């Protein structure tokens, strides 16, 4: 039912005006699993008489079927909507609820506490202004409690309610409450929270939820609802420079061109001059169009269509900004990241970075450190695993416009996407751009790749031989080079074992090291192709992602992926170096085919069947392929 103070008045315009003037608070409930987050929200809505009769009837009915409180109402069922949540008694997805009192409107995100669903917690916290962090009074501050506090801080939340729940199960003991508050303060003092309000509660029984409880006479603070109604949160509306990521170019006919999106920062009005961040082109705003008519001014959060006074090149994904306060434009930056992927983060592996409406290829060029959420220490790391937080450097295929996350949560955030599965594997908060030294730039050479290749009467190429250890890659690559050399071609072979004696001797055989191994070799091969050479690269290169990275550094048509196809059992029988035997005995870790997978090419340019043909015949197949596609021509007679 509605609060009596919010019943419709005779003048509907007065009601609408009062509604619009009522402030809105977005908050998130978080904490470790089974700390009572969903129960707290359900109890809050029930005690504040904010449930309709049919909702209450349904809640009572479902409590008899799915409830965990005997004959009592199970308030968690109000927001735990998934069947799996009700069966297990935990929150999996993020549940959003809107409610209002006479003083304030609220949007609450109930987020899961289980470590497996930490990404969902980050999603719920990404738009929140305050976090209600629950702690089970019996368990105290746990690792997941600290992790959620750290994520809340990274995501820009500056106000925390420390709700110490289940106080009824510790006899409402003040020493227990005080110890938890002290522990939390000691481990989060450097997270930058502006306010931390501790409140002892019993979500199941309603103590200090909407009214202060007689069971805690030693507590003289507000109830949870009273605090949420009165806490002062800086709105930030209209603050900061103007930012407008273009979501869609609106062109219904030849006479109208508008740029639709949501204002991500600052304000704009007709007559203001804006700049396209990427190109530097400027124009003035002539109209601010909405379905309710033109606006005289638009501010943060307003979804509008901007019409400019002249036609300039603006596309979806571009950002319009204040001309005198432009965002950063860079293809490299440092960022805090929460890793969400089941597979570990691998530096140098290609991912997709999505920032606003822009999606560009990206890779992590280095992990500066990992953060231990328990001790707050910065630890050295070569990769990140599920739920770990780290500070990383990223490199993008092309520059994007952005702000530091501390300045703008919308234009300073991004996600990383796995290029093959489409899954989101990380959430990131940009710290600052990484500027290249001003005296380092690309030096154009008079003698270029085309001239070098023409002198050699051949087309440069990178022949990438991939397959299991013992497949015959090096043997075939060596035979191919012999045949090409005999024809007067200019060649070089990069062999996996050979480069580990020098260029890559610092690398091991972990997934991260393998990715870096391939990145370096791909760059060396690119330089050799730029010299006009035909380069043979013989590497196991077990992962498709790394081989794709090598293909992408080359120009179209220059990368030839050759799968030296040999079944594992045959490669293991050959075992020229005795490596399979050592791997089977557990003496050799991370060996491809045994305890590390090999991902065969999905669409190789050439497949060499080592069971059906001897190495000499397979080498001839490669040379014939090069001849057929115009890579070879005999040297001209002088």
Note whether residue 236 is domain-resident: no
Q: Is 139 helix (H, G, I), strand (E, B) or coil?
A: coil
String of DSSP letters for 561-577: EEEEE--HHHHHHH-TT
Report the chain (638 residues): mean pLDDT per 10 consecutive residues: 46 59 83 78 72 54 53 53 38 64 84 61 79 92 87 86 93 96 87 91 89 94 92 71 93 88 92 91 93 90 92 91 91 90 84 90 90 81 87 91 90 89 88 69 77 91 93 93 94 90 83 81 93 93 86 92 93 83 84 87 94 94 94 60
Note whether residue 67 is domain-resident: yes
Residues 495 and 618 in one domain: yes
Residues 86 and 104 in one domain: yes
Residues 500 and 593 in one domain: yes
Note whether residue 596 is domain-resident: yes
Residues 226 and 248 in one domain: no
Residues 202 and 274 in one domain: no
* Integer Cα distance of 588 and 595 in angstroms: 9
- Residue 605's pLDDT is 95
Domain CATH number, residue 19 = 3.40.50.300
SS (H, E, C) 32-62: CCCCCHHHHHHHHHHHCCCCCHHHHHHHHHH
Residues 571 and 587 in one domain: yes
Q: In the beta sheet, which residues pair with residue 164?
A: 135, 200
Note whether residue 515 is domain-resident: yes
* Beta carbons of 212 and 225 less than 8 angstroms apart: no
* Beta carbons of 415 and 443 less than 8 angstroms apart: no
**Of 433, 464, 480, which one is at a domain's C-terminal end?**
433
Is the CA virtual torsion 237, 243, 247, 251 positive or negative?
A: positive
- Residue 342's pLDDT is 83
Note whether residue 238 is domain-resident: no
Residues 206 and 249 in one domain: no
**Of 292, 322, 352, which one is at a domain's C-terminal end?**
322
Which of 363, 383, 469, 541 is labelled catalytic?
541
- Residue 88's pLDDT is 39
- Residue 546's pLDDT is 83
pTM over 0.85: no
Q: How many domains does the chain have?
A: 4
* Integer Cα distance of 204 and 206 in angstroms: 6
Domain CATH number, residue 339 = 2.40.30.10
Whether residue 541 lies in the annotated active site: yes
* Beta carbons of 334 and 326 less than 8 angstroms apart: no
Residues 334 and 314 in one domain: no
Exposed, middle or buried: residue 114 (CB in 10 Å: 0-12, 13-18, 19+)?
middle
- Residue 360's pLDDT is 93
- Residue 77's pLDDT is 52
* Integer Cα distance of 564 and 608 in angstroms: 5
Residues 313 and 345 in one domain: no
String of DSSP letters for 368-428: EEEE-TTT--EE--S---TT-EEEEEEEEEEEEEE--TTT-TTTTEEEEE-TTT--EEEEE
Note whether residue 438 is domain-resident: no
* Integer Cα distance of 243 and 299 in angstroms: 10
Note whether residue 638 is domain-resident: no
Work out the angle at residue 303's Cα, subtended by the Cα atoms of residues 312 and 293, and round it to the nearest 5 degrees: 85
Note whether residue 575 is domain-resident: yes
Residues 79 and 194 in one domain: yes
Residues 460 and 598 in one domain: yes
Determine the structural domain holding residue 423 and report its residue range. Answer: 328-433
**Of 322, 355, 379, which one is at a domain's C-terminal end?**
322
Name the residue among 271, 273, 259, 269 with its Cα closest to residue 298. 269
Tokens encoding 632: 């070879």
Name the residue among 225, 230, 195 with its Cα closest to residue 208. 225
Residues 293 and 196 in one domain: no
Q: Spell out where 452-490 has E strands.
A: 461-466
């Amino acid at each position: 039912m509605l609060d009596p103070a919010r019943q419709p008045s005779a003048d509907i315009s007065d009601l609408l005006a009062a509604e619009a003037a009522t402030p809105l608070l977005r908050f998130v409930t978080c904490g470790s699993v089974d700390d009572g987050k969903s129960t707290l929200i359900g109890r809050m809505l029930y005690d504040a008489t904010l449930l309709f009769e049919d909702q209450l009837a349904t809640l009572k009915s479902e409590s008899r079927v799915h409830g965990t409180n005997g004959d009592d109402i199970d308030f968690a069922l109000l927001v735990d909507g998934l069947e799996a949540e009700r069966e297990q008694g935990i929150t999996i997805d993020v549940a959003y609820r809107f409610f209002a009192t006479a003083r304030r409107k609220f949007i609450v995100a109930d987020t899961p506490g289980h470590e497996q669903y930490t990404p969902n917690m980050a999603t719920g916290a990404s738009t929140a202004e305050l976090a209600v962090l629950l702690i089970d009074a019996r368990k105290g501050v746990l690792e997941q409690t600290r992790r959620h506090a750290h994520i809340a801080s990274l995501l820009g939340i500056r106000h925390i309610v420390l709700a110490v729940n289940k106080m009824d199960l510790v006899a409402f003991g003040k020493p227990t409450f005080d110890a938890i508050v002290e522990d939390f303060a000691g481990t989060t003092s450097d997270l930058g929270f502006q306010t931390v309000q501790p409140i002892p509660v019993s979500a199941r029984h309603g103590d200090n939820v909407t009214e202060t409880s007689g069971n805690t006479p030693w507590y003289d603070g507000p109830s949870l609802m009273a605090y949420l109604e009165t806490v002062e949160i800086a709105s930030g509306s209209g603050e900061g420079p103007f930012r407008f990521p273009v979501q869609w170019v609106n062109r219904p006919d030849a006479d109208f061109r508008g740029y639709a999106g949501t204002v991500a920062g600052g304000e704009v009005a007709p007559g203001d001059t804006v700049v396209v961040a990427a190109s530097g082109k400027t124009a003035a705003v002539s109209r601010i169009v909405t379905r309710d008519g033109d606006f005289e001014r638009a501010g943060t959060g307003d979804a509008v269509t901007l019409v400019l006074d002249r036609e300039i090149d603006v596309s979806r994904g571009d950002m319009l900004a204040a001309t005198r306060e432009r965002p950063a434009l860079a293809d490299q930056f440092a960022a805090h990241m929460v890793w969400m992927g089941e597979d570990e983060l691998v530096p140098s592996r290609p991912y997709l970075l999505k920032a606003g409406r822009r999606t560009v290829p990206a890779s992590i060029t280095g992990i500066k450190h990992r953060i231990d959420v328990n001790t707050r220490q910065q630890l050295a790391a070569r990769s990140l695993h599920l739920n770990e937080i780290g500070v990383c450097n990223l490199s993008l295929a092309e520059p994007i416009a952005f702000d530091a996350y501390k300045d703008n949560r919308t234009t300073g955030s991004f996600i990383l996407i796995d290029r093959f599965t489409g899954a989101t594997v990380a959430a990131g908060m940009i710290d600052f751009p990484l500027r290249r030294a001003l005296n380092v730039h690309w030096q154009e050479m008079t003698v270029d790749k085309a001239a070098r290749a023409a002198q050699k009467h051949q087309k440069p190429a990178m022949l990438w031989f991939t397959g299991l250890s013992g497949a015959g890659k090096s043997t075939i690559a060596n035979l191919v080079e012999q045949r090409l050399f005999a024809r007067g071609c200019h060649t070089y072979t990069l062999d996996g074992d050979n480069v580990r004696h020098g260029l890559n001797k610092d690398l091991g055989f972990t997934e991260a090291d393998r990715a870096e191994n391939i990145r370096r070799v791909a760059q060396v091969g690119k330089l050799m192709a730029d010299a006009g050479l035909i380069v043979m690269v013989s590497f196991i290169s077990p992962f498709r992602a790394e081989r794709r990275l090598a293909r992408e550094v080359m120009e179209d048509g220059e990368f030839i992926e050759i799968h030296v196809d040999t079944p594992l059992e045959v490669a293991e029988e050959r075992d020229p170096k005795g490596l399979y035997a050592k791997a089977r005995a557990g003496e050799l870790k991370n060996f491809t085919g045994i305890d590390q997978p090999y991902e065969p090419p999905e669409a190789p340019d050439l497949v060499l069947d080592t069971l059906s043909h001897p190495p000499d015949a397979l080498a001839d197949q490669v040379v014939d392929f090069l001849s057929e596609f115009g890579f070879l021509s005999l040297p001209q007679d002088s």
